[in-house]
């Protein structure tokens, strides 16, 4: 099962696991409304929603998307719409997408939280046992 970050965070929140406040946006105007609802002062994170990891180390094929990656910290509410417009409808390339990349058609806007440590979690079906295996690294 492939889920976007915003879908995973919704599942986590429904199961009483704390996640930063956020919402999915399909347009720059939606992104700005979500950012304003989250906080009047920011900062905020804009995260391209594609089915691939390493978005923070990725780059866009189109030069009009700018030099930044698929995850952007925005400190001024006035820049939310602009940065969102640079990401939407452009192709993000990461190590996991291959050279063709994936088209960004939605962004996740969330409150900025400093990261102390990274953990990656995944679940797979182990047909030899049979059981679901949870992997965390």
| CATH number of the structural domain spanning residue 97 | 3.30.1490.20
Ramachandran angles phi, psi of 113, nearest 5°? -135, 125
pLDDT class for 1, splitting at 50, 70, 90? Answer: low
Residue 69 CA from chain centroid, whole number: 11
End-to-end CA distance of the chain: give it in Å, rounded: 19
Q: What is the pTM of this model?
A: 0.85
- CB–CB of 101/91 below 8 Å? yes
pLDDT in tens, 49-93: 999 989 999 999 999 998 999 999 999 999 999 999 999 999 999
Please state, in angstroms and rounded to a whole number, the distance separating the CA atoms of residues 39 and 64: 28
Residues of the domain holding 25: 5-136
Number of domains in the chain: 1
């Amino acid at each position: 099962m492939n889920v976007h970050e915003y879908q995973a965070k919704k599942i986590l929140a429904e199961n009483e696991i704390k996640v930063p406040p956020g919402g999915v946006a399909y347009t720059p105007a939606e992104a700005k409304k979500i950012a304003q609802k989250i906080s009047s002062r920011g900062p905020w994170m804009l995260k391209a929603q594609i089915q691939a990891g390493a978005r923070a180390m990725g780059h866009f094929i189109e030069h009009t998307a700018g030099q930044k990656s698929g995850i952007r910290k925005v400190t001024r509410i006035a820049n939310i719409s602009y940065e969102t417009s640079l990401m939407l409808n452009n192709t993000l390339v990461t190590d996991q997408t291959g050279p063709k990349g994936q088209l960004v058609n939605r962004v996740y806007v969330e409150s900025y939280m400093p990261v102390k440590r990274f953990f990656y979690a995944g679940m797979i079906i182990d047909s030899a046992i049979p059981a679901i295996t949870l992997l965390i690294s």
